[in-house]
C-alpha cells in the first residue's frame, strides 16, 4: 500500500512507480519541486508507510541501485505565517477543532485556520458574490458535491498531485471510484477525509432475556429477520421490538448501489429490480407482529426496548446511554446475497481547494497532511473510519473511544463499502423523501411493492420537472 505523497532529493522526475495512478504513468511522474522565489521553500515529506524513489544518480544510490538514506530530507514548508480560511458546511465546532485545526497546528504551527461556517449570509453563493471564497472547502459527498460542481468553485487537484507526487492509490479503491464518479471529466476536485460506516447495534440484555444468540459479523438480512422474530415479544407488559433502521442512511446509500435518480437522464431510477429487492427485504421486519415502525434511536438508547438498530455510529449518544444501563454491542451491517460483506455507499466529508485561493500550495499541503497516515491515525483512533487503503490504520479504529472498549470495534471495518457508480445529482434530495414515504407505505401500510415503486417513480419525476421549471 502506497503513501499519499512520495518524495526524493536530487532525483530526476519519476517515470515509473509500482503503485502509481494510470494517468501518472501516461504523463510521467513529476517529483516534488522547490519554489525558491523570494527565498521561500515548500517541499513535502513522505506521508504514510512507504516512500518510493527512482531515477537517482548512481553516485547517490546504494549498492543495489536503490536510493540511499541521504536522499530523504525532513519536511520543509515556508515558516512565514499564513492564514487559511476553511468553509465548513456541516461539521460541528468541537469536531472541526479536533479533526482539522489541532492536527494542522501541530504539523504546521505557522498556519492559522479561520473557519467560515455555512449559514445565512455565508452560503457558498454569498461568498462567491463577495469574492471571499475560502481557501479550503469542506463538504459532504451527497448534498454539497452537486452544489460545488454547478458553481464551479473548486480547483482541479491534479496539477498539485503531480507537483507533490501525491498517490491516489493510497485511498481505498471503492472510495476513490465513488469520488471520481462525481467528477467524471478526468479532473479531480475533492479528497475524502474519512468515511461513514453503517453497522448493527444490539442490546445484549434483550437477547439474554429471551435466550437468543447475539448477532454476529457477516450475517445476511434473512438471518437478521429470523433473529428479529425471536426477540420481538410482549413480556411483563413491555413490548420489545426486534429491529429498526435509519432510513436516511440505508435507503439513499443502500448496499446494492441503486441510485434514486439517473445522473445521465435526470429521471427517477427507482422502479428497478434492485430497489424491489431492497423494499421486499426490509419490509419483512415490519411484517413481524409487534415490530412497529420508527422506534429508532430513542427506543434503543433510552427506553431500551429495541433489540437491534442499524445505522451509523452513535458515539455521541452511547456514553450517556451506557451510564443509564444500556448493555450494548455492535456487529457489521448485515448484507444481501448479491453484495456479501458490503456496507453502505460512500457517505463522507470531502476536502477541496478554491479555484481562487491565494495560497493553493499551502492549502494542498495542509489537506495532504490531514490525509496522511500520521494525520489519519488520530481520527481513526477516535472512531472516524479512514478513507485510506491501509490495514494498519483500520486496526487502530476506536482505540481512544472509551465507550467502545471491550466491544466489537472490528464491526466498523469488517465490510467493504458499496460502490457509487454514478454522480450524486442535485435532485437526489427531492427523491429521498418520496422513496422513504413509499417504503413506509409498503412496509406498514400494506401497499404492494411494485405499486409503491411505480408511484415513487412518477412522484420523483414530477418533482424534478417542477424543480427544472423554477
Q: Within a domain: residue 381? A: yes
Same structural domain, 255 and 334:
yes
Same structural domain, 259 and 284:
yes
Q: How far is CA 185 from CA 158, 182, 419, 428, in A?
A: 12, 9, 19, 21
Mean pLDDT, range 412-426, rounded to an integer: 93
Instruction: Identify the CA nearest to 5 among candidates 387, 396, 373.
Output: 373
Same structural domain, 238 and 131:
no
Same structural domain, 175 and 204:
no
Q: What pLDDT shows up at residue 77?
A: 67
Q: Within a domain: residue 77? A: no
Task: Check pLDDT > 50 for residue 148.
Answer: yes
CATH number of the domain within which 256 lies: 3.40.190.10
Which cell is 193 given?
Answer: 477525509
Same structural domain, 320 and 364:
no
The residue whose grid cell reads 429498526 is 244
Q: How far is CA 21 from CA 155, 319, 324, 352, 364, in A?
A: 20, 42, 50, 19, 18
Instruction: Return mean pLDDT, the chain.
Output: 84
Q: Within a domain: residue 418? A: no
Mean pLDDT, range 415-439, rounded to an integer: 95
Task: Check pLDDT > 60 for residue 326.
Answer: yes
Q: What pLDDT shows up at residue 5?
A: 52
Tally the domains of the chain: 2
Q: What pLDDT shows up at residue 230?
A: 98
Same structural domain, 340 and 219:
yes
Same structural domain, 318 and 398:
no
Q: Within a domain: residue 74? A: no
Which cell is 361 given?
Answer: 500550495
Higher pLDDT, 19 or 322: 322
Same structural domain, 390 and 309:
no
Render pLDDT for 85-98 as a digit per residue (tens, 0 to 9): 999 988 888 888 98
Burial class (CB in 10 A: 0-12, 13-18, 19+), 94: exposed
Q: Are strands 198-203 and 328-332 parallel, antiparallel or unpaired?
A: antiparallel
pTM: predicted TM-score of the whole model, two decimal places: 0.81
Render pLDDT for 187-202 as a digit per residue (tens, 0 to 9): 899 999 889 899 999 9
Q: Within a domain: residue 44? A: no
Same structural domain, 380 and 442:
no
Q: What pLDDT shows up at residue 4?
A: 58
Mean pLDDT, range 6-17, rounded to an integer: 32
| Interatomic CA distance for residues 263 and 433, integer angstroms | 18
Mean pLDDT, range 444-455, rounded to an integer: 96
Mean pLDDT, range 81-109, rounded to an integer: 91
Domain that residue 352 falls in: 82-193+346-409
Task: Check pLDDT > 50 for residue 36.
Answer: no
Same structural domain, 320 and 460:
yes
Q: Within a domain: residue 149? A: yes
Q: What pLDDT shows up at residue 332?
A: 98
Q: What pLDDT shows up at residue 58?
A: 32
Same structural domain, 336 and 268:
yes
Same structural domain, 175 and 210:
no
Q: What pLDDT shows up at residue 186?
A: 79
| Interatomic CA distance for residues 189 and 149, integer angstroms | 9
Q: What pLDDT shows up at residue 155?
A: 96
Q: What pLDDT shows up at residue 468?
A: 94
Mean pLDDT, range 170-197, rounded to an integer: 89
Q: Within a domain: residue 52? A: no
Q: What pLDDT shows up at residue 76?
A: 53
Render pLDDT for 358-417 as a digit per residue (tens, 0 to 9): 999 999 999 999 999 999 998 899 999 999 999 999 999 999 999 999 999 999 999 999
How confident is residue 347, by pLDDT bands cut at 50, 70 and 90?
A: confident
| Interatomic CA distance for residues 34 and 46, integer angstroms | 15
| Interatomic CA distance for residues 344 and 249, integer angstroms | 8
Q: Within a domain: residue 176? A: yes
| Interatomic CA distance for residues 41 and 38, integer angstroms | 9
Amino acid at each position: 500500500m502506497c503513501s499519499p505523497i512520495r518524495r526524493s532529493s536530487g532525483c530526476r522526475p519519476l517515470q515509473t512507480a509500482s503503485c502509481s495512478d494510470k494517468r501518472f504513468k501516461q504523463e510521467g511522474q513529476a517529483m516534488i519541486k522547490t519554489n525558491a522565489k523570494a527565498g521561500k521553500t515548500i517541499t513535502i515529506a513522505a506521508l504514510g508507510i512507504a516512500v518510493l524513489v527512482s531515477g537517482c544518480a548512481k553516485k547517490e544510490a546504494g549498492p543495489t541501485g536503490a536510493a540511499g538514506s541521504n536522499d530523504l530530507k525532513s519536511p520543509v514548508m515556508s515558516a512565514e505565517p499564513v492564514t487559511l480560511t476553511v468553509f465548513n458546511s456541516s461539521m460541528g465546532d468541537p469536531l472541526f477543532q479536533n479533526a482539522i485545526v489541532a492536527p494542522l497546528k501541530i504539523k504546521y504551527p505557522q498556519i492559522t485556520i479561520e473557519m467560515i461556517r455555512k449559514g445565512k449570509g455565508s452560503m457558498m453563493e454569498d461568498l462567491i458574490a463577495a469574492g471571499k471564497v475560502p481557501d479550503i472547502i469542506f463538504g459532504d459527498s451527497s448534498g454539497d458535491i452537486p452544489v460545488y460542481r454547478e458553481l464551479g468553485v473548486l480547483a482541479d487537484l491534479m496539477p498539485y498531485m503531480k507537483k507533490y507526487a501525491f498517490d491516489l492509490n493510497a485511498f481505498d479503491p471503492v472510495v476513490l471510484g465513488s469520488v471520481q464518479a462525481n467528477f467524471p471529466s478526468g479532473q479531480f476536485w475533492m479528497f475524502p477525509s474519512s468515511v461513514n460506516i453503517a453497522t448493527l447495534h444490539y442490546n445484549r440484555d434483550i437477547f439474554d432475556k429471551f435466550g437468543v444468540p447475539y448477532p454476529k459479523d457477516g450475517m445476511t438480512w434473512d438471518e437478521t429477520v429470523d433473529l428479529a422474530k425471536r426477540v420481538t415479544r410482549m413480556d411483563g407488559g413491555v413490548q420489545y421490538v426486534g429491529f429498526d433502521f435509519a432510513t436516511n442512511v440505508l435507503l439513499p446509500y443502500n448496499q446494492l448501489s441503486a441510485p434514486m435518480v439517473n445522473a445521465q437522464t435526470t429521471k427517477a431510477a427507482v422502479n428497478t429490480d434492485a430497489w424491489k429487492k431492497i423494499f421486499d427485504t426490509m419490509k419483512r421486519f415490519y411484517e413481524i407482529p409487534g415490530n412497529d415502525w420508527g422506534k429508532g434511536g430513542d427506543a434503543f438508547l433510552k427506553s431500551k426496548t429495541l433489540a437491534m438498530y442499524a445505522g451509523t455510529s452513535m458515539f455521541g449518544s452511547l456514553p450517556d446511554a451506557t451510564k443509564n444501563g444500556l448493555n450494548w454491542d455492535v456487529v457489521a451491517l448485515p448484507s444481501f446475497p448479491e453484495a456479501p460483506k458490503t456496507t453502505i455507499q460512500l457517505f463522507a466529508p470531502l476536502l477541496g481547494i478554491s479555484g481562487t485561493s491565494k495560497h493553493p500550495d499551502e492549502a494542498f499541503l495542509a489537506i495532504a497532511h490531514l490525509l496522511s497516515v500520521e494525520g489519519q491515525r488520530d481520527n481513526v483512533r477516535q472512531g472516524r473510519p479512514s478513507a485510506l487503503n491501509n490495514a494498519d490504520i483500520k486496526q487502530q479504529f476506536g482505540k481512544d473511544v472509551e465507550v467502545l472498549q471491550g466491544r466489537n470495534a472490528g464491526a466498523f471495518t469488517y465490510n467493504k463499502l458499496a460502490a457509487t457508480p454514478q454522480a450524486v445529482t442535485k435532485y437526489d434530495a427531492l427523491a429521498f423523501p418520496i422513496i422513504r414515504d413509499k417504503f413506509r407505505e409498503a412496509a406498514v401500510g400494506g401497499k404492494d411493492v411494485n405499486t409503491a415503486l411505480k408511484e415513487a417513480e412518477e412522484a420523483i419525476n414530477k418533482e424534478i420537472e417542477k424543480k427544472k421549471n423554477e
